[in-house]
Amino acid sequence: MLNIIICGAPGCGKGTQSDLMVEKYELKHLSTGDLLRNEIALKSDLGLEAESYISKGNLVPDKMIFDILSKAIAEQTKNSKGIILDGFPRNVAQAEALETLMASLNKEITLLIDLNVDNEELIDRLIKRGETSGRSDDNLETIKKRLAIYEQKTAPVSDFYKQKNKYAAINGMGTIDEIFGRISSVIDSKR
Ligand code: AMP
């Protein structure tokens, strides 16, 4: 089974590369950002609460994320070739909760893939995405805040998986195919 975490700053290409991994390795894609945006579109209580954090560029509370994600992980790891976690864990507390959940399901994380892209390029990509995405958080002020929160809270998740020897840094600059080629070689070396 391949249970992969794809990690990297906002705009690094996690969603695009996840789609390619889903196709090649027949994995289930779980994106916490997509799950939350879905709740926002439904105007559910959870969605309304989440939007107040997301639109300011802040992380939503861990409990809220874990409540929606733990059920999805349990379901998607059943009878599947594995999962891709995109946008989770976003901090070390979430990584610890994930390890406990996976152990309780008798599964484990195979690898964290860390997509590295220069900050200037990230800002460029997110501003461009904002022209069409309609996302409340794709504007310069919020982008800068999300990048700062990423450095402060999410980057330490890499160290957590480095210590477990389950970490691969990938150069996230270049064409989509070039980047996917790099990701595939790392995954193939783990199978
Ligand atoms: P994303 O689509 O992954 O960039 O997520 C968009 C926004 O959703 C983030 O800026 C956070 O506000 C929120 N979010 C997504 N995943 C998480 C998470 N694991 N923990 C906390 N907040 C999250």
Encode pLDDT of 96-127 as tens digits: 999 999 999 999 999 999 999 999 999 999 99
CA–CA distance from 72 to each of 65, 66, 67, 183 (Å)?
11, 10, 9, 24
Confidence grade of residue 72 (pLDDT, cut at 50, 70, 90): very high
| H/E segment holding residue 22 | helix 14-25
Ligand 1: centre distance to CA 183 (Å):
23
Q: Where are the domains of the chain?
A: 2-190
Ligand 1: centre distance to CA 25 (Å):
25
φ and ψ of 119, to 5 deg: -60, -40
Indicate whether residue 126 lines ligand 1 (CB < 6 A).
no
Residue with the smallest CA separation from ligand 1 atom 5 is 33
Q: What is the mean pLDDT of the chain?
A: 96
- Interval 142-148 mean pLDDT: 97
| H/E segment holding residue 7 | strand 2-7
pLDDT score for 191: 80
On the CB side of 48, CA atoms within 13 Å amount to: 3
Rounded-to-integer distance, Cα 66 and Cα 71, Å? 9
Residue with the smallest CA separation from ligand 1 atom 11 is 59
Whether 169 has a pLDDT exceeding 90, the answer reads yes
Rounded-to-integer distance, Cα 125 and Cα 11, Å? 6
Ligand 1: centre distance to CA 146 (Å):
9
Indicate whether residue 112 lines ligand 1 (CB < 6 A).
no
pTM passes above 0.75 = yes
Whether 17 has a pLDDT exceeding 90, the answer reads yes
pLDDT score for 49: 97
In the CATH scheme, what architecture does the domain 2-190 have? 3-Layer(aba) Sandwich (3.40)
Our mutation pick for probing the ligand 1 site, out of 19, 32, 46, counting the most ligand atoms within 8 A of Cβ, is: 32
Ligand 1: centre distance to CA 37 (Å):
9
pLDDT score for 190: 87
- Interval 148-165 mean pLDDT: 97
Indicate whether residue 88 lines ligand 1 (CB < 6 A).
yes
Indicate whether residue 12 lines ligand 1 (CB < 6 A).
no
